[in-house]
Structure 1
Amino acid sequence: MRSLILLLQQVNVEQKIKSAPNGQYQIGVLIGSFIPFIVLVGIAYALYYRAKKKDQKSK
C-alpha cells in the first residue's frame, strides 16, 4: 500500500518547472506538489486530536 502511494506521488517537479511557460505556472506546480503533504498532515493532526480527546474523556 505504501509503495502504491509513493508511486502515485512521485512527480518530477524540477522538470515541470524547467518547461514552464511562465512564472505563474511555476507557482502552481509548487503549490500542487505541496497539497498532498498538507492534506496528510491535516488528517494526521485530526486523528491525533480525536484520540487525545477520547483519552481525556476516559479518565
Structure 2
Amino acid sequence: MKSLLVLVQTVDLKEKLENAPDDSYQIGLIIGSFVPFVALVAIAYWMYYAAKKRENNQ
C-alpha cells in the first residue's frame, strides 16, 4: 500500500523549478518528469502491437 501511495504523490515541479540552482538542473527536472509518461506510452504501444500481432496469427 505504501508503494501505491508513493506513486500517487504529486511533485511540485513549479516550486522546484523556481528554486533550481542552475539551468541544467531545470532541464533535468523537466526531462525527468516526462520519462515516466513516455515509458508508459511505450509499454502500452508494445502491448497493443503484441496483441494485434497475436490476433492476426490466428
Unaligned segments of structure 2, at least 5 residues: none
Unaligned segments of structure 1, at least 5 residues: none
Root-mean-square deviation (CA, aligned residues, Å) is 1.7
Q: Whole-Å Cα distance in 1 between the matches of residues 49 and 11 of structure 2? A: 31
SS in 2 for 1:55: helix
Q: Whole-Å Cα distance in 1 between the matches of residues 11 and 32 of structure 2? A: 10
Aligned-residue identity in percent = 49
Deviation at 1:11, TM superposition (A): 1.1
Match of 1:7 in 2: 8
Q: Deviations over 1:7-37 (max 9, x none)?
A: 14x2111011000000000000000000000
TM-score, normalization by structure 1: 0.84
SS in 2 for 1:49: helix
**Higher RCO, Cα 8 Å, sep 6+:** 1
